[in-house]
Amino acid sequence: MSTLRKDGRLQSSVTITNPYTGKKVKKFVYGYTEAEICAEKNRLIRESDLLFLGEMSFADWCEEFIRLKKEENLSDTTVENYEYNIKKYILPKIPKNIMMSQIAVFHVKNIIRSIEGARTKQLIYTILNGIFNAAKREQLIVKNPCEYILKPKYKPIKAKIFNPEMYHKLMSEIAGTQLQYLYTLAWDTGMRRGEITALRWSDFDATKQTITIERAAKKTKAKGEYIGKPKSKESERKLHISSSAVKNLQLWRNILNEKLLDAGLAWDDNGFIFRSELDLSKKLPNGTITNTFRKLRIKLNLPKGTRFHSFRPTNATILAEHDINPKKIQIWLGHSSAAFSLDRYVHATRTMQAGINEALEDAKAIYTNIN
């Protein structure tokens, strides 16, 4: 029931749940009649989103921002990366209970200055810009403080590629093991680590000489390693592979079949192509590929920065050296654009300049010998 105030109005209260934090808050309502009190309570409940939006702290908005990202159907790993970077680099540098309306340019500058590494600075700036742009769309703030700060510069470093000596040394070391066939497939296709470990025999068609990529192995803290969609829509693709690539997989299939028989396991046409050495009934974990390659790099004294992923830029560079159309390289590697394939993956080599001088000399002769 409502209570009568000295000013003649009725007073009552209603408990509302903050939709962004889940906290329950008591709100007082006033009116001259019970009908007005009831209407005001219903209004507060109905408009609770807007009510709490104006009272939201930066920390609470970051939680809401993550929720919005999840609604965009981003991959679990992408969302987890947002959460990790916000908790590690952003929230520790912002006053705990500061409201969104109180965030100023110097707060953002303070965050960026506290970070070491140009790449991380640019990444955190991009995340902050996204946080404030989303808040601006929700009319939580009027201006985005990132608009008054220059985006940190970062020049991407091209991934290391294998030269013939490095490749020969590596393949000689793993001859006769499962890695020989896995690394050969990586060389033949430029596939990502998670795409390879998620491959099943049903994805390989020896007759048509194709590999269908429609899954990828991923890992998050919440789920552990799991099979999900590839990195992007462009990553879902069908590769038409060479005869030698087909032979490589057929040889491995025969070896794997013998291993399964020795372990008392039945062959499964839908089973994973590459298996855990500890349990042949399970797929080869992504981490095993990474850790094993790291040990091989140290043992073989390969250049620092060389990693399993180096098979992809090596593949792209070889294709570019042989004048393969950039669009074809993009589709082959499953990139979102041909520009990305060329800028980030393809290394400038002497082979790529072959024929340039001859072409210019031929043109010069035509240009200068005009009668």
Mind listing the pLDDT tens digit for each residue in 307-362? 999 999 888 888 888 888 888 888 888 877 766 666 666 655 666 556 556 665 67
**Mean pLDDT, the chain, as a whole number?**
87
pLDDT grade for 371, boundaries at 50, 70 and 90: low
Angstrom distance (rounded) from CA 324 to CA 40: 69
Helices 178-189 and 164-173 pack at an angle, to 10 degrees, of: 150
Angstrom distance (rounded) from CA 209 to CA 201: 13
Q: What is the pLDDT of residue 339?
A: 64
Judged against a pLDDT cut of 80, whether residue 121 lies above it is answered with yes
Report pTM.
Answer: 0.71
Range 17-44 average pLDDT: 77
For the domain bounded by 58-148, which CATH number is listed? 1.10.150.130
Query: Which residue type does 166 have?
Result: M
Top-tier CATH class for 164-304:
mainly alpha
Which residue from 348, 312, 174 is spatially nearest to 231, judged by alpha carbons?
312
DSSP 336: S
Contacts of 344 (CB under 8 A, 6+ apart): 156, 158, 159, 313
